[in-house]
Amino acid sequence: MNKGNNHHGHDRPRPDCPRCGGVEVKPIVYGFVDVGAYLELGKRTPDFELGGLVTRDENWCCLRCGHKWAGAQLHST
């Protein structure tokens, strides 16, 4: 885990994927989405993955291999 590394310009540190070692990971967000705010993103890619309405343990998703896992929430200091 690269705690001091803010992968690819993200403002918070992110874990590396435990399956493939990829650094392109996003947090998974569960629950209802503010559709208006989501649509305002336009063509920009959101900095999270939508997990659906049912909360699961997995809170990280690897964009390289698609693996989802439960891991510590990392916060910048």
pLDDT per residue as tens digits for the range 16-47: 999 999 999 999 999 998 888 888 888 888 88
More confident residue, 3 or 53: 53
Q: Strand 25-30 vs strand 49-52: parallel, antiparallel, or unpaired?
A: parallel
pTM: 0.73
For the segment 2-9, the average pLDDT, to the nearest whole number, is 46
CB atoms within 10 A of CB 71: 18
The answer to whether the beta carbons of residues 53 and 74 sit under 8 Å apart is no
pLDDT per residue as tens digits for the range 42-64: 888 888 999 999 999 999 999 99
Residue spans per domain, the chain:
7-69
3-state helix, strand, coil in the chain (%, to 5): 10, 20, 70
